[in-house]
Structure 1
Amino acid sequence: MSYNSPIPLQGHQIPDRVAFHRRELGDILTLYGRMVSAGEWRDYGISMLKDVAVFSIFRRAAEHPIYRIEKRPKLAAKQQQYAVIGMDGRILKRGADLKQVLRVLEKKLIRVVE
């Protein structure tokens, strides 16, 4: 996925909303599929807004998201553009590399077997 319908502004094309690219969605959906198989997650939602793209992860469809994966290109130079945010609004991981940021959620797959 890429940006949708740009808005012309003084000869420049500015996207009207942020979206995840195909490679980014592939990384997110690979992790999502593994977590669904493990029985941890059940549903997701994607929002594409003016300043942020959000992939929300739900344990059940009727609940609030347990995690949000956000892409904020305007923060790329300062705080990094990707972030994983917990249910309580706390930033669990932030970075410039999406795969590195998603590793905070992969740790949830590792369980002790007795």
Structure 2
Amino acid sequence: MSIEPPSSVSAFERQPEQVAFHRTELSLILSLYGRMVAAGEWRDYGISHLRDVAVFSVFRRTAEIPLYRIEKRPKLRNRQGMYAVVGTGGQILRRGHDLKAVLRVLERKLIRSVD
């Protein structure tokens, strides 16, 4: 049995073991998701909480690759922004510090002209 010296980081300052969406973030994402489902654009979603990133994936059909991924990467908070919308091919459609502003790139899909 060995005795370890106390850590310089307290239990309250330690990084979480996984990244997760906060309730307010999920509220914004699910609000957009509900409108897109009502418009018939999206059908399914999946949420992943990993060590470095939390991902909300949107699907047109269940057995496909995701149409879009909404990612939260806290390590990028001080650089490009921790929120990003990633397209099917892996291209980053929008990145920023404010989730609501980042999600606007997907809300444009709801606006259609009326004939």
Q: Quote how far apart the aligned CAs of 1:112 are.
A: 1.2
CA distance in 1, matches of 2:76, 2:15: 17
Aligned to 1:35: 36
- What's the TM-score once normalised by structure 2's chain length? 0.89
Q: Distance in 2 between matches of 1:109 and 1:28?
A: 15
Shift, 1:113, TM fit: 1.4
**1:15 CA drift (Å):** 0.5
Deviation string 1:31-80 (CA, Å, 9 cap, x unpaired) is 00000000000000000000000000000000000000000000000111
1:87 corresponds to which residue?
Answer: 88
- In the other structure, the counterpart of 2:61 is 60
| AA of the residue aligned to 1:111 | R
Query: Given residue 18 of structure 1, which amino acid in structure 2 is its aligned partner?
Result: V
Which ranges of structure 1 fall in alignment gaps of 5 or more residues? Answer: 1-8
Matched, 1:15 2:22: no
Q: Residue type of the partner of 2:91?
A: R
Matched residue, 1:5: none
Instruction: Report the secondary structure of 1:14's partner residue.
Output: coil
Secondary structure of 2:56's aligned partner:
strand
The equivalent residue for 1:6 is none
- Percent identity at matched positions? 68
Deviation at residue 14 of structure 1 after TM alignment: 2.2
User: Which stretches of structure 1, 4 residues or longer, exceed 2 Å deviation after superposition?
Assistant: 9-14
Which structure has the larger Rg? 2
Which runs of 5 or more residues in structure 2 are unaligned?
A: 1-5
